[in-house]
Amino acid sequence: MKREHIQAEAAEWIVTLNDPAATEADFADWQAWMNQNPAHADAFQRLQETWRRAGAVAHAPIQNADEVIAIAPPAESRATRFQHRWAVAAVALFGVIGVAVTVWQSQSQTIATVTAETRSMQLEDGSRVSLGPETRMEVQFSENQRSLQLEGGEAYFEVAHAPERPFSVTTPAGTVTAIGTAFVVNADPERLVVSVTEGKVRVDLPGASGKSAPVMVTAGRRLAWNEGKVRTSTLAPSADAVSFQQGKLHYDGEPLSSVIADINRYSTSKLRIDDAEVREMRYTGTVFTDSLDVWLASLPGVFPVRIEERGGERILAASK
């Protein structure tokens, strides 16, 4: 798609979002357009940045994108005319964009994947996120902060550098704040695993008194929190933190309950553990998500467990 057409679409979206009749569906469609192509978000953000630098406001009422384009004065060359058109349009749209962005900031975006689905996308600030299966995340960006709520699942974040807007990921077990970094978060109500591939993060965990207990995790390190216990370790060279995208799940002394919770996100046939002792058994190794049945069949040869079928459910129980 030509650059001219993309910029025209960006102007159309600015006008649409400024319309008092704009609906939630409009905002969802706008975000979908932003995510279709990095050039879409780039065009929108460039238009936004232009008016910020311009420091001027045009008060003429704007009814549609054609009027926006018509504001630009004629010039001698097509290239110059094009540049002027969008520079002047951006200045004229100062108030429009301000309203559109303010409305967006008051909205939250929910991103979710289904069983066995992985998904990668670019966020509004230029950061990239890759979601693992059965992962649900709410994104709430404002002028001063970038807040994400990871309700469950696994996600890899490549954070765009913007120290004036902290980037934090809140999970049921704690909050992870990026400090110019790339990292993986795997979370559910009972555990939190953070693997850092670049930079460092601050992890705020619930303390015994209910107060937050911050822990710094640097590149090449991994933090695992489970049932109030914190364990840090070095990422093994062969254990790529984002290997879940290639269907490989690495574990280093993780409770079997955590491993089963992960693999259940890759299979429609869920496995349940009904024995507390089995839940606490520790597993070290790699699980390949394209051969889960093979891995499960090998478990009784490694642990004193058996797999049963009960009422249509698969149960992992202790061996008799």
- Which amino acid does the sequence have at 35? N
159-215 pLDDT tens trace: 998 888 899 999 998 999 998 789 999 998 888 999 998 899 999 987 645 556 689
Distance between CA atoms of residues 245 and 133, nearest Å: 10
Question: Tokens for 6?
Answer: 């993309």
98-151 pLDDT tens trace: 444 444 444 578 899 999 999 999 998 899 999 999 999 999 998 888 999 998
Phi–psi pair at 163, nearest 5 degrees: -60, -20
C-beta of residue 12 within 8 angstroms of C-beta of residue 44: no
Distance between CA atoms of residues 292 and 261, nearest Å: 13
Residues 57-62: contacts with CB under 8 Å, at least 24 apart: 57/91, 57/94, 57/95, 58/91, 58/92, 58/93, 58/94, 59/95, 60/92, 62/15, 62/18, 62/92, 62/93, 62/96
| Max mean pLDDT range (34-38, 208-212, 248-252, 282-286) | 282-286
Residue-range domains of the chain with CATH: 3-105 (no CATH), 109-234 (2.60.120.1440), 247-318 (3.55.50.30)
